[in-house]
Amino acid sequence: MRAGRLEDRPSPLIVAMTGATGVIFGIRTLELLRDAGVPRHLIMTEWAARTIVAETGRRPQDVRALADIVYGEEDVDGLAAISSFATAGMIVAPCSMKSLAAIAHGVSDNLVQLAAALTLDTGRRLLLLVRESPLSVIHLENMLRVARAGAMVVPPVPAFYARPRDLDEMIDHTVGRMLDHFAIPQPRIHRWGDKRPTFQPAAHELEEH
């Protein structure tokens, strides 16, 4: 069997998971990338690992197994490895306010923050699925800073026009929209105009408004 040429393979993506609630978004990102055949480099912080256990009942090692290459947050040497790959970019999902603040202010204290800085430095796409509520002025200013530096801020806000049937569909829709930014095909995502019937109000319901 002929091995595929290097240039035929999709570029790897860096997926970082930090300790905000919503670790399922990072897990589904890894699973949908795997399904699409995209190589995955995972950086998982200690707080992400704890949150995986608290929120999903999964073991962090099972989530790590969804990636091709895994780094810990303390694995600062991993930057040399990461920078030796022509990655398509990086997704931080979920992104805590601590990690957002560090990225916004160029604090490169762990591998998530270093890889995000490298992604911005090299003009690659950086998506931050930030999660906090309510958002303070400090959080909002940090989001503005990263957006000005070239990152895309994508809070997990559900799109109800997609008429999700359950939480899984809602999560997949959010993840799918992130992957759209890397032109990764998402056959499972329902889009506007897709076959699912849209809500048709009865005539009397329209008249009441």
What is the contact surface with ligand FMN in residues (CB under 6 A)? Answer: 18-21, 45, 47-48, 50-51, 54, 96-99, 131-132
Cβ count near 161 (within 10 Å) = 12
Q: Which CB sits closer to ligand FMN, 100 or 120? A: 100
Q: Which CB sits closer to ligand FMN, 51 or 87? A: 51
- Smallest gap, in angstroms, from Cβ of residue 100 to ligand FMN? 7
Q: Which CB sits closer to ligand FMN, 145 or 191? A: 145
Q: Which CB sits closer to ligand FMN, 51 or 119? A: 51
Instruction: Give me the residues paired with residue 127 across strands.
Output: 91, 152
Phi, psi of 192 (to 5 degrees): -55, 130
Taking CB atoms, the residue at the shortest distance from ligand FMN is 19
- Smallest gap, in angstroms, from Cβ of residue 158 to ligand FMN? 16
- Smallest gap, in angstroms, from Cβ of residue 141 to ligand FMN? 15
Segment 143-146 long-range contacts (CB within 8 Å, at least 24 positions apart): 143/100, 143/104, 145/104, 145/105, 146/100, 146/103, 146/104
The Cα 191–Cα 170 span in angstroms is 12
Burial of residue 192 (number of CB atoms within 10 Å: 0-12, 13-18, 19+): exposed
- Smallest gap, in angstroms, from Cβ of residue 207 to ligand FMN? 43
Cβ count near 201 (within 10 Å) = 10
Q: Which CB sits closer to ligand FMN, 48 or 120? A: 48
- Smallest gap, in angstroms, from Cβ of residue 19 to ligand FMN? 3
